[in-house]
Structure 1
Amino acid sequence: MTTLLHIDASARPGLSGTIAHGSHSRRLSHRFVSTWKTERPHDEVIYRDIGAKPPGVVTGEWIEAGYTPAELRAPWMHGVLAESDALIAEIRQADLLVIGVPMYNFGMPAQLKSWIDNVVRVGATFNFDRSLDNPYVPLLAERTRRTVLLTSCGSNGYGPGGFQAHLDLLTPGIASPLALLGLAEIHSVAVEHAEDHGDLLDQSMATALVRVDALVRALQTSASA
């Protein structure tokens, strides 16, 4: 059985094509998960809507608790790290992360940045060893965990080779910290032209949905191999 961790980061509620001002990234992520479940109904899905309920931001107390060895932490420190512990536990349980996220000002929403800051934690998801050429040691690389990144952006040309590729701070901003933890395999599908509306958006969405369905089939084949 495969466990999916489904994360939505858009501040917009609902799905585009269903309600006015619905989220395009949510539409892609829900399409992926519903298509997956159609073929594999017994697989588990853990759902976290961080767009509606963002994780807490990292504070000075969080940093103090996180850098204190677990056996030396005061009771209040465990409370401060409780949400981080829960988010990390979900990743540990998952085989496949499905993240629906829009591009805000060329990067990720603050909600997703808070999630990343909570799960990238020294001693919990990675270690730092200065004696190594690469001092960053991933702690979630004990088995393969794949990530599907389903994004939306207002314009176009942000993909590799695109005329605005240099402005894409979203994809590397997510892929780099996940790789630090040991989640290096990233698959992505984007819908573009969200601000253009009309035919350009409709065509981009139709293409993205076809790519989502194909990606589901490919990953399910891989999971069954």
Structure 2
Amino acid sequence: MTNILHIDSSARSGLSGQQAHGSHSRRLSAKFIELWRAKRPNDEIIYRDVGSTPPAPVTGQWVHAAFTKPEDREDWMRDVLAESDALVDELLRADVIVAGVPMYNFGMPAQMKAWIDNIVRVGRTFGFDRSLGDVPYWPLVTGNKSVVVLSARGDFGYDPNGRVAHLNHVEGGVLSPLHYIGITDQYTAAIEYDEFGDDRLNQSIQDAEETVSELVDKIMAKHNALIPA
């Protein structure tokens, strides 16, 4: 059985095409899950909507607690890290992470950044040892995990080599820290032209949904190959 962690981070509720002002990124992540369930209905799917219920942002107390050895932590430290521990546990349990992440002002929503900051944890998802010199960090997330970032943008041309690709900090902002902790099998798809609302938007939606369908087949084939016969 494959375990999937499904994350949505849009501040918009509902799905575009179904609700007025619904979210394009939620539409794509829901499409991924729908297609996956149709082929593997018994797989476990954990859903976390950080868009409507964001994790608490990292604080000075959080940093103090995280960098204190577990055996030396006081009760308040364990309390401060409780939500982060739950988020890390979900991540470690998952084989596939599917994240709907819209572009807000060229980057990810603050809600998604809070999730990233809570799961990039010393001693849990990355190791740190000053004695190693200039490269004291190493990834702790093992296994053959895959991550898919499904985005939406008001403008167009944000893909690699596009007219405004240099302004896109969404996929890199999500995928770089996940690569850092050990999740290196990474995929993306995005809807563009939302602010134009013309035929280009409709075509972009169609193209993105076709890419999502292809990604489901590709990632499913990979993970099916990893399941012992």
Q: How does 1:45-194 map to 2 (within 5 A)?
A: 45-130=45-130, 131=132, 134-140=135-141, 142-194=142-194
Pair 1:73–1:23, CA change in 2 (3 A) = same
- CA offsets per residue over residues 117-139 of structure 1, 9 Å max, x none? 10111111101234155322101
What is the CA–CA distance in structure 1 between the aligned matches of 2:224 and 2:94, rounded to whole Å?
Answer: 16
TM-score by length of 1: 0.97
What is the CA–CA distance in structure 1 between the aligned matches of 2:224 and 2:82, rounded to whole Å?
Answer: 34
Contact 2:25 2:150 in 1 (8 A): yes
Q: Secondary structure at the match of 1:13?
A: coil
- 1:137 partner letter: W
- CA offsets per residue over residues 48-84 of structure 1, 9 Å max, x none? 0000000001111111111110000001110100000
Gaps of 5+ in 1: none
Structure 1 vs Structure 2 CA RMSD: 0.9
Contact 2:146 2:219 in 1 (8 A): no
What is the CA–CA distance in structure 1 between the aligned matches of 2:35 and 2:19, rounded to whole Å?
Answer: 20
What is the CA–CA distance in structure 1 between the aligned matches of 2:138 and 2:18, rounded to whole Å?
Answer: 44
What is the CA–CA distance in structure 2 between the aligned matches of 1:134 and 1:153, rounded to whole Å?
Answer: 36
Paired positions, count? 224
Deviates more, 1:159-168 or 1:80-89: 159-168
Compute the displacement of 1:195 (Å): 0.8
Gaps of 5+ in 2: none
What is the CA–CA distance in structure 2 between the aligned matches of 1:192 and 1:156, rounded to whole Å?
Answer: 5
Q: Which residue of 2 aligns with 1:2?
A: 2
- CA offsets per residue over residues 179-208 of structure 1, 9 Å max, x none? 111011110011101111121111100111
Extract structure 1 runs of 4+ deviating beyond 3 A. none
Q: Which residue of 1 aligns with 2:34?
A: 34
